[in-house]
Structure formats: C-alpha cells, structure tokens
Amino acid sequence: MTEQQALFAPYVFAAVLFAAACHAGWNAAIKRATDTISTTSLIAIGAGVVALAVLPFVGFPRPAAWPWVIASVAIHLLYFIGLSESYRVGDLGQVYPIARGSAPLLTAALSAPLIGERLGLFAWSGIIALVAGIFLLSVRGGRELARFDWHATALALFTAMTICAYSLVDGVGARLAGGANAYTATLFLGNAVVLAAYGVVRRGAGALTALTAQWKIGLAGGALQFLAYGIVIWAMTVAPIAIVAALRETSVLFGSVLAVIFLKEPLRARRIAAALMIAGGLILIRLY
C-alpha cells in the first residue's frame, strides 16, 4: 500500500479521528485534576502498565529503532512538563488549541527538509484550514483579551515544539521498528519510568499518595493515552507523518466539547465557526 492509498483508506482516516477523541479525554483528565504534575505522572504509569501487558505479544522493536525510542522518551518528558505546566497556569480552552494548533504547521514545514515527505496543494490547504479553525477556538475578544496570559501561551508554544519533535521522531522510529505496536509498547514503558521519576522528584510522597488513591483514573487515562498514540504511531507507518499529525489535532474539537460539558466553559458562535473550518480542513485532507 502506498502512502496516498493508505491515506485514502477510510479506516486509516477514521482510526486517527478516533485516536483524537481518546487524546482529548486524557487531556481533560489532567486539566480537571488539582495536581496536574501528579496526575500526568499517574496517567503515564497507567500507560506503562498497559504497555507491560501488551509487550509479551508484540515484542521489542528492531535495534535500528532504539535510538529513536530513547530520543522520544526524552522529548516526551519535555512535552509532559510543558503540558502539565500549561494546564496549571492556563485555561484548557486557550492552552489546548495553541499547543495542538501550532504543532501540525511545524511538523508539515519540517517533514520535507528533514525526512523528505512533500505535501500537495490539497494537503497544505487542509492543514492550514484545520489549524486556522484550531486557533479560532483560542481567540479571545473584548475584556477577555486584556487578561491574555502570556505565561500560559509561551508554555503552550513550547509544548507545540515538543509535539512536532516527537511526531517526527516516532514516525521515523516506528518505520524502522519492524512493527508499530512493538515501538509503541517500548516507548510507553520508557515514558512510565521517566515520568514516574519526574513525579516523585517534583511531588515526593504526594505522587505516591496520588498513585494509591487515584489508580483507577491513572489506569483509565493511561489506557486512553496508549490507545490514542498507538493508533497514531501505526498510522504514521502507512501515511505521511505531517498528514497524520494534522488529523490528530482534531482532538481540539473533542477537547472543546469536553470543556463545555464538564468544565462549564461557555459555548460561543466562534466555536461553531471554528468547527466548520476544521471540518473543511478534514475534507481537503481526505481528498489528498
């Protein structure tokens, strides 16, 4: 199956959109938590437990993929630091779109010079429309603009850079691994160890208390995290990395819905217009 044939395959397209919904779910769990650092570590540990259960069936990746796994674990540490700190100081409705909206543009711009993947007119048009819709979700006007949080915005942009970095690294690494599932399981096992250590360093006994008191949240969130990114890693082995990365960011729509329903953030006409722009972007990408 060629890259274009894979992208045209409805199951690939649908699978990445499903992954986006799962991704929004565990992000909302972090935002709702009172201690984002402990919760982030807890979810990473939950994903590691899932990885341990899966690993005997999928095995380890080929040796050529190990440097990419190690690099990805390091980048994911920076990503989770940026993500948890962003949610600690900013609103989900602002941080999430900025972090997720900037990443696909960076990935698309860098995928050609770094890994040789070139996108056509429909693909670029779809990505730009999708990103414009994502950013529209984060626009604030009137009195709200006066309270624009530059600290949260800077952290969100830093998070976007890490998303771009691990997307490219994992796309290449999974292609060298001999199996996307083997790469995914090894990656999440490494993430669990590193994020658990980070949580203990930052929160000490508090991280252990959260682990025992909220292990169900950690396991459920970790399972969503493993499933969501596992699908994306698989998709990047059969389709262009930049396109998959852009499709994944439709999670911002699901995140916006969760913000309205569970976090009681207001539903405005702006969000409806943004959803239409994102839908238009999806149609263009689907035609690629």
Mean pLDDT by 10 residues, the chain (288 residues): 52 82 68 67 90 96 97 94 78 72 88 87 88 74 52 86 95 96 97 89 68 73 89 93 86 70 68 79 74
Which segments of the chain does DSSP mark as H helices, in order? 3-8, 10-32, 36-58, 66-89, 92-115, 121-138, 143-146, 150-176, 180-203, 205-213, 215-236, 241-248, 251-261, 269-286
Q: Which domain holds residue 10?
A: 3-286
Burial of residue 134, with CB atoms counted within 10 A of its CB: 0-12 exposed, 13-18 middle, 19 or more buried: buried
257 contacts: CB under 8 Å, gap ≥ 6 = 24
Please tell me the distance from the alpha carbon of residue 282 to that of residue 123, in angstroms, as a whole number: 9
Q: Rounded to two decimals, what is the model's pTM?
A: 0.83
Residue 76 and residue 192 in contact, taking contact as beta carbons nearer than 8 Å: no
As for how many domains the chain has, the answer is: 1
- Amino acid 145: pLDDT: 44
- Amino acid 146: pLDDT: 45
- Amino acid 2: pLDDT: 46
Contacts 24+ apart (CB under 8 A), 68-71: 68/169, 68/170, 68/172, 68/173, 68/176, 69/173, 69/183, 69/186, 69/187, 69/190, 70/190, 71/169, 71/173
Residue 195 and residue 45 in contact, taking contact as beta carbons nearer than 8 Å: yes
Number of Cβ within a 10 Å radius of residue 69 = 25
Number of Cβ within a 10 Å radius of residue 268 = 13
DSSP 60: P
Please tell me the distance from the alpha carbon of residue 143 to that of residue 147, in angstroms, as a whole number: 7
- Amino acid 207: pLDDT: 61
- Amino acid 216: pLDDT: 75
| Secondary structure class of 117 (helix, strand, coil) | coil
- Amino acid 154: pLDDT: 86
Residue 24 and residue 248 in contact, taking contact as beta carbons nearer than 8 Å: no
- Amino acid 183: pLDDT: 98
- Amino acid 141: pLDDT: 43
Contacts 24+ apart (CB under 8 A), 54-58: 54/181, 54/185, 54/226, 55/185, 55/186, 55/189, 58/179, 58/181, 58/182, 58/185
CA atoms within 13 A on the CB side of 265: 20
Please tell me the distance from the alpha carbon of residue 81 to that of residue 75, in angstroms, as a whole number: 10
131 contacts: CB under 8 Å, gap ≥ 6 = 101, 102, 104, 105, 246, 249, 281
* Residue 199 Cα to chain centre, angstroms: 20
